């Protein structure tokens, strides 16, 4: 092959994402209309610097993906974004394959993600299977009771990341201790609901997004505690529009969202690759931490 033909071939390179790439990363996030902020990218880099990737097409930044490692049983892939000018060139697939190779190299047994309908087309072909569906609900809640039992509610403290660990692992599948500690610091409200019987009945956060306030995660051992936390978080932001990702199986949370005037913005599907050995319990997940982290 002569030199001209060789250099005219498109070249795809996937490399580690660094802080210097965050302007591009956040611009491709904004183009997709997603709600994350620069703080989300910075957290991904802080928690798993070797698991954040950038794709270059002929030397031009073209796409991103991030991996979050919760432990040997479970890891998450998120922020799979390809610039609209470079779609259908195999970049999304290459980013996914790189994340999967990275996580398998770290000995992870199960990899999950929350797929948009567009992403699902890529993940199906890589062998990901569906676990359950969820929806993004959006709106400014109307008619919320907003008088949750205040005596049982208190602000999150740093030591709560350890105290809620078993409750969170029962809901999510594995411990998210490092992530919860980081998210709590970024939150505009972070609450714990105590219970005489079990110590801690639930916890919930809300944090700023680039489009709307993000409600989640909210994890609780009962619908009463979960919805009490939802109401308390909403009461602390009475004028805000919320984004709230709810597992479809959690009918108590879905009914609450519907009855209080929220609307479905888009469907998502939780998918997994490998053996789903720590499935968790969507009935205890009243709000995701975010599709990009689970």
How many angstroms separate the CA atoms of 32 and 244, rounded? 18
How many angstroms separate the CA atoms of 191 and 193, rounded? 7
Chosen residue from 30, 118, 146, 162 binding ligand COA by CB under 6 A: 118
- The least distance separating ligand COA from the CB of residue 40, rounded to whole angstroms, comes to 14
Task: Give per-residue burial for 12-27: e unless 16+ CB within 10 Å, then b.
Answer: bebeebeeebbebbbe
Specify whether the CB–CB gap between 161 and 210 falls below 8 A: no
Q: Is 249 helix (H, G, I), strand (E, B) or coil?
A: coil
Q: Map the footprint of ligand COA across residues 209-248, applying CB under 6 A.
A: none
- The least distance separating ligand COA from the CB of residue 231, rounded to whole angstroms, comes to 30
Which residue, 29 or 260, is less far from ligand COA as judged by CB?
Answer: 29
- The least distance separating ligand COA from the CB of residue 266, rounded to whole angstroms, comes to 10
182 counts as binding ligand COA under rule CB under 6 A: no
Which residue, 184 or 269, is less far from ligand COA as judged by CB?
Answer: 269
Specify whether the CB–CB gap between 10 and 183 falls below 8 A: no
253 counts as binding ligand COA under rule CB under 6 A: no
Q: What is the DSSP string of 48-91?
A: -GGGEEEEEETTEEEEEEEEEEEETTEEEEEEEEE-GGGTTSSH
267 counts as binding ligand COA under rule CB under 6 A: no
Binding mask 26-55 for ligand COA (x = CB under 6 A): ------x-----------------------
Q: Which token pair is 77? A: 């892939």
Which residue, 93 or 236, is less far from ligand COA as judged by CB?
Answer: 93
Question: If you ran DSSP here, which 8-state letter would residue 109 be given?
Answer: S
- The least distance separating ligand COA from the CB of residue 289, rounded to whole angstroms, comes to 15
- The least distance separating ligand COA from the CB of residue 38, rounded to whole angstroms, comes to 18
How many angstroms separate the CA atoms of 87 and 97, rounded? 16
Q: Is 205 helix (H, G, I), strand (E, B) or coil?
A: strand
Q: Map the footprint of ligand COA across residues 52-91, applying CB under 6 A.
A: 80-82, 87-91
Residue numbers at the binding site for ligand COA (CB under 6 A): 32, 80-82, 87-93, 115-116, 118-119, 121-122, 125
């Amino acid at each position: 092959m002569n030199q001209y033909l060789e250099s005219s071939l498109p070249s795809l390179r996937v490399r580690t994402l660094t802080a210097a790439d965050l302007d591009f990363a956040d611009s491709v996030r904004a183009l997709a209309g997603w709600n994350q902020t620069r703080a989300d990218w910075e957290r991904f880099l802080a928690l798993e610097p070797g698991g954040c990737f950038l794709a270059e097409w002929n030397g031009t930044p073209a796409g991103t993906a991030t991996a979050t490692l919760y432990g040997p049983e479970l890891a998450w892939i998120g922020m799979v974004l390809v610039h609209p000018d470079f779609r259908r060139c195999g970049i999304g697939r290459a980013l996914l394959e790189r994340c999967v190779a990275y996580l398998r190299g770290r000995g992870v047994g199960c990899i999950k993600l929350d797929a948009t309908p567009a992403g699902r087309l890529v993940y199906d072909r890589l062998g990901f299977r569906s676990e359950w569906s969820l929806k993004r609900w959006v709106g400014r809640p109307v008619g919320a009771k907003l008088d949750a039992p205040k005596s049982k509610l208190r602000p999150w403290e740093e030591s709560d990341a350890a105290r809620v660990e078993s409750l969170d692992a029962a809901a999510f599948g594995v411990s998210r201790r490092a992530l919860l500690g980081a998210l709590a610091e970024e939150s505009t409200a972070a609450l714990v609901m105590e219970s005489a019987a079990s110590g801690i009945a639930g916890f919930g956060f809300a944090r700023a997004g680039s489009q709307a306030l993000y409600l989640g995660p909210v994890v609780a051992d009962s619908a009463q505690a979960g919805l009490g936390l939802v109401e308390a978080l909403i009461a602390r932001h009475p004028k805000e529009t919320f984004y709230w990702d709810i597992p479809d199986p959690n009918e108590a949370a879905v009914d609450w969202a519907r009855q209080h005037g929220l609307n479905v913005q888009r469907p998502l599907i939780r998918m997994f690759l490998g053996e789903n050995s720590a499935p968790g319990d969507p009935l205890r997940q009243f709000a995701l931490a975010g599709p990009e982290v689970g």
